[in-house]
Each structure stands twice: as C-alpha cells, then as structure tokens.
Amino acid sequence: MPDFTYEVEDTALAQQGLERMDWVRERMPVVRGIKEEFTRTRPFAGMRIGICLHVEAKTAVWLEALTSGGADIAITGSPGTTQDEVAAALVAEYRVQVFARKNETFDQHLDYAARVLATEPDLIADNGADLHVLALTNADFSGARSKIIGATEETTTGGFRLREEIAGYTFPTIVINDSRAKRIIENRYGVGQSVVDGIMRCSNLLIGGKRTTVIGYGACGQGIARYLRGLGAHVTIVDIDPLTRLEAHTEGYDTAELHEVLPTSDLVITVTGRPGALKRDHLALLKDGAVLCNAGMFETEIDLPGLRELSSESRPVMPDIGRFKLDNGKTIYLFGEANSVNLSAGDGNPIEVMDLGLALQSLSLAHLATGYRSLPAGPQTVPREIENEVAVRTLRAWTSGQK
Ligand SMILES: NC(=O)c1ccc[n+]([C@@H]2O[C@H](COP(=O)([O-])OP(=O)(O)OC[C@H]3O[C@@H](n4cnc5c(N)ncnc54)[C@H](O)[C@@H]3O)[C@@H](O)[C@H]2O)c1
C-alpha cells in the first residue's frame, strides 16, 4: 500500500468544498443510483484507480460512487480547472490522494500525473491521454504499466492521441468520447452552454450583436455556435473540412477563411481539438480589442508563445482576463489563459450533463474491472449496452423530475 501523499492548495478549504458538493450531488441522480449499486456489488474491491479529470465538484461526487465500489483513488486535474476547495475536501474527508492546484503550471501538471501513476493503479481514467502517454511510452513507468488492467479516456483530443501517438498497448481503453451519448448531449449541449456561460461570467459582456468566430465546427463547435446565435451574436464558422463548412452554411452560419474573418471578429473561440488552430500570423490579424478564448482540451490551440512574442506588454486585468498590447498597436484580451474557458472561467459543463458523462465512465470502469480479460488491448468504443443503459436511466431521471 503506497503512502498517503497528496498536494493541494490548502486543506483548510475542505468545508467550502463539501458545501459545493452538496449542491451538485442533489442534481446527479444517475450517479447517485450507480453509487447505491456499487455499494452492493463492490466492483472495485481491493483496486486502485488513477484518475486525470478536472478536480471539481461533479468529479468529486463521482468519486463517492467509485469509493463506495471499493476503490482507492489517486487523482490529478488540469491546469486552471481545479477547484481548490474541492481538492481539499477530497483529501480531508474522503482520503483521496489529490495532486492538483488551480494555478498549477503545465510542467507541474505532468509531474502530478506522474505521481498518480506512481501509486500503481489497477485502472486508469484519463482526460487528454497524459496518463496513457506516461504509462505506455516512458520506461520509468514500466512497473506501473504492468499492473494496469484497463483504462478509460474521456475526450476527443485524448482519443486522437491514443490512436495517433501510442503503439504497443498492453491493456484495453474505452474511449468515452466515442459514445453518441457523450458527443451529442455533453459536447454539443453541455459545452455549448458552459462555454458561453464562462465567457459571459468572467467578462460581464453582452453577446447579442457581437461578431463571433468559432474555429472548429465539430460536436463542441456546433453547440457553441448554437448558443451564441441564440443570444443574438453574428456567428461565422471556420473549419478545415469542406463538408463541415458546407454543413455550417446549410445550418445558416456564415463560413470564411481565418484571414478573412479575424480582422472584424469581436470574439474568437478555438475548439478544434488540435494544436495550432490560431498561429502567430493569425494573431497579428485580430481586430483591436478582440477577445480570444479556447474551449478545446489544450491551450496549444492558440499559439501562446507567438502571442507573447508579438506583445510588448501583457498583464492580468481581471481574474480570468489577460491583456496583451501588440507591437502593431492593437490590444487583445485572452480569457482563462487559453485553458478551456468553460472550466477556467466557469464551473464546467452543466451538472445534469456530467451526471450522464460520469455514469458512462462509472459503468465502463466497472465493465473493465470485471471483464478486462475478454477485451482486446487498445482503444475501443463504449459497449452499446452501457450507452443504452445510461440513456435509459438519464431520460427516466430527466422526465420524472428526479433531482
Ligand atoms: N471544454 C470542454 O468542456 C470540452 C468538452 C468536450 C470536449 N472538449 C474538447 O473540445 C475539442 C473539440 O472537440 P469536438 O468533440 O468538437 O471535436 P471534433 O473532432 O468533433 O471537431 C473538431 C472540428 O475542428 C475541425 N478542425 C480541426 N483542425 C482545425 C483547424 N486547424 N482549423 C479549423 N478547424 C479545424 C475539424 O475539421 C472538426 O470539424 C477537443 O479538444 C475536445 O477534447 C472540451
């Protein structure tokens, strides 16, 4: 049994974290139901689960279900998205090994991911594939790798990395993002609402009448565009895929190339799942006073080193807003330091949506814990029975008025 180590901002914040969790728990009926089942069936008895997922209240309520199922847990989050009070509550009240701070740097994040793996988990639940990359490509973790019997991966970007950057799988990974339930309900509706909410909350700006550009019209981009339009914004879509641009046009949006639309956009949002969607040359084209934010998994969608090179001065002007004075005389505002704006400047996806997403995670992890021997190594989709089961339970909860 590894030592009980952790790294959080301040354990004295635990009571605030517990209060946040109370509000959320009452609105997560599907995960609550799974917790009751896990208390009886104990699918994770004697197992350790190593997790990389935003350390915030919805995740914490999900961890109650996993610990009720017998799991010991070590978790890290992502830069900019940790709720320090929730991290404190998990350590102080639930004896979860947490390695996460709201203001951690990317290098610290990688160090924290390594510390999660060092606890030698049986299962991993990943978000962006950082735990996978360490376990499967770094010789220092060969011992940890040999203990892992299965994994999940939450995101679009993580799914790309698993399929493009990693070979030599030794365990099965269920990619939660491959489910229709996640892509439609979470990515489209959840991300759509929460990204626009994060922008409004941290800036107090009016969306109506703004010229907005969404870069990437996948599941998330479609949702963001839909909510922006609903609030009266003019929305232009930029996407590298011609069929996707045609789809956006048919949906009634303007479509354009980046260089055409950036000089007139008030608000620009990247959500492609790929690095370098906005490069240095694009940044120089932005309109004076433009707001820039990222809703994708990693801040690398925006060329931040390029932005710094173009700027003679940069400083925070509000908690989640940075101001950059460019050498060309323009001023650009960057929200949430280019971390996912719905998490860094808001509370992340809506509670009900994450109830569904974390139910998919729960049943997928239980499926791995009990049935990993019959699954092939490598990335794979969520079993259809699990997806259907979660859809049935969620619809029942939402239509019966159950909180
Ligand atoms: N913030 C959140 O809460 C949250 C939640 C879910 C997913 N995500 C992340 O959002 C990102 C997008 O996810 P998705 O499910 O919409 O992905 P997706 O693959 O469905 O869509 C991405 C779109 O971007 C386009 N694209 C790719 N590179 C581009 C480029 N350089 N310029 C313009 N368009 C480009 C693709 O053609 C595609 O249409 C991922 O990083 C995902 O992990 C964030």
**Per-residue pLDDT tens digits for 263-283:** 999 999 999 999 999 999 999
192 pLDDT band, cuts 50/70/90, is: very high
403 pLDDT band, cuts 50/70/90, is: low
Whether the CB of 297 sits within 6 Å of ligand 1 = yes
- Mean of pLDDT values over 31-38: 98
Residue 37 has pLDDT above 70, yes or no: yes
Query: What pLDDT, on the 0 to 100 scale, is given for residue 378?
Result: 96
Whether the CB of 271 sits within 6 Å of ligand 1 = yes
380 pLDDT band, cuts 50/70/90, is: very high
- Mean of pLDDT values over 181-190: 91
As annotated, the residues of the chain forming the CATH 3.40.50.720 domain(s) are 188-344
Whether the CB of 239 sits within 6 Å of ligand 1 = yes
Whether the CB of 240 sits within 6 Å of ligand 1 = yes
Length of the chain in terms of residues written: 403
Superfamily of domain 188-344: NAD(P)-binding Rossmann-like Domain (3.40.50.720)
38 pLDDT band, cuts 50/70/90, is: very high
Ligand 1 centroid vs 304 CA: distance in angstroms? 18
Give the ligand 1 atom nearest the CA of 220: 16
Ligand 1 centroid vs 220 CA: distance in angstroms? 6
* Residue bearing tokens 């594939």: 129
Residue 167 has pLDDT above 90, yes or no: no
Instruction: Pick the residue whose CA is nearest to atom 42 on ligand 1.
Output: 156
Residue 401 has pLDDT above 80, yes or no: no
Give the residue among 355, 393, 402, 364 at the shortest CA–CA distance from 58.
355
Q: Are 187 and 393 contacting, i.e. CB atoms less than 8 angstroms apart? A: no
Give the ligand 1 atom nearest the CA of 194: 3
Ligand 1 centroid vs 41 CA: distance in angstroms? 37
Residue 148 has pLDDT above 70, yes or no: yes
3 state SS for the chain: CCCCCCECCCHHHHHHHHHHHHHHHCCCHHHHHHHHHHHHHCCCCCCEEEEECCCCHHHHHHHHHHHHCCCEEEEECCCCCCCHHHHHHHHHHHCCEEECCCCCCHHHHHHHHHHHHCCCCCEEEECCCHHHHHHHHCHHHHHHHHHCCEEEECCHHHHHHHHHHCCCCCCEEEEHHHCHHHHHHHHHHHHHHHHHHHHHHHHCCCCCCCEEEEECCCHHHHHHHHHHHHCCCEEEEECCCHHHHHHHHHCCCEECCHHHHHHHCCEEEECCCCCCCECHHHHCCCCCCCEEEECCCCHHHECHHHHHHHEEEEEEEECCEEEEEECCCCEEEEEHHHCCHHHHCCCCCCHHHHHHHHHHHHHHHHHHHHHHHHCCCEEEECCHHHHHHHHHHHHHHHHCCCC
Residue 2 has pLDDT above 80, yes or no: no
As annotated, the residues of the chain forming the CATH 3.40.50.1480 domain(s) are 11-182+349-399
Q: Are 69 and 44 contacting, i.e. CB atoms less than 8 angstroms apart? A: yes
Ligand 1 centroid vs 178 CA: distance in angstroms? 13
Q: What is the pTM of this model?
A: 0.89
Q: How far apart are CA 360 and CA 368, in angstroms?
A: 12
Burial pattern 335-344, b for ≥16 Cβ within 10 A else e, equals bbbbbbbbbb
Radius of gyration of the chain (CA): 21
Q: Which one of 127, 153, 156 would you pick to mutate in the ligand 1 pocket, going by the greatest count of ligand atoms within 8 A of its CB?
A: 156
Whether the CB of 295 sits within 6 Å of ligand 1 = yes
Whether the CB of 342 sits within 6 Å of ligand 1 = yes
Whether the CB of 81 sits within 6 Å of ligand 1 = no
Query: What pLDDT, on the 0 to 100 scale, is given for residue 41?
Result: 98
81 pLDDT band, cuts 50/70/90, is: confident
Ligand 1 centroid vs 6 CA: distance in angstroms? 33
Query: What pLDDT, on the 0 to 100 scale, is given for residue 147?
Result: 96
Whether the CB of 82 sits within 6 Å of ligand 1 = no
Q: Poorest-confidence range of 154-168, 207-221, 255-269?
A: 154-168
Give φ, ψ of 155 to 5 degrees.
Answer: -110, 170
Residue 50 has pLDDT above 90, yes or no: yes
Give φ, ψ of 378 to 5 degrees.
Answer: 105, 175
Give the ligand 1 atom nearest the CA of 160: 19
Token representation of residue 237: 């879509």
Q: Which one of 78, 130, 239 would you pick to mutate in the ligand 1 pocket, going by the greatest count of ligand atoms within 8 A of its CB?
A: 239
Q: CA separation (Å) from 285 to 25, 120, 225, 321?
A: 45, 48, 22, 20
Q: Are 131 and 124 contacting, i.e. CB atoms less than 8 angstroms apart? A: yes
Instruction: Pick the residue whose CA is nearest to atom 9 on ligand 1.
Output: 296
Give the ligand 1 atom nearest the CA of 340: 1
Give the residue among 98, 77, 87, 71 at the shortest CA–CA distance from 10.
87
- Mean of pLDDT values over 25-44: 97
- Mean of pLDDT values over 335-359: 94
Give the ligand 1 atom nearest the CA of 238: 33
Q: CA separation (Å) from 28 to 31, 57, 176, 283, 355?
A: 6, 11, 18, 41, 5
Give the residue among 287, 283, 292, 282 at the shortest CA–CA distance from 259.
282
Whether the CB of 241 sits within 6 Å of ligand 1 = yes
- Mean of pLDDT values over 62-81: 95
Arithmetic mean of pLDDT over the chain:
95
Instruction: Pick the residue whose CA is nearest to atom 25 on ligand 1.
Output: 216
- Mean of pLDDT values over 173-181: 93
Residue 1 has pLDDT above 60, yes or no: no
CATH 3.40.50.620 fits 11-182+349-399, yes or no: no
Whether the CB of 191 sits within 6 Å of ligand 1 = yes
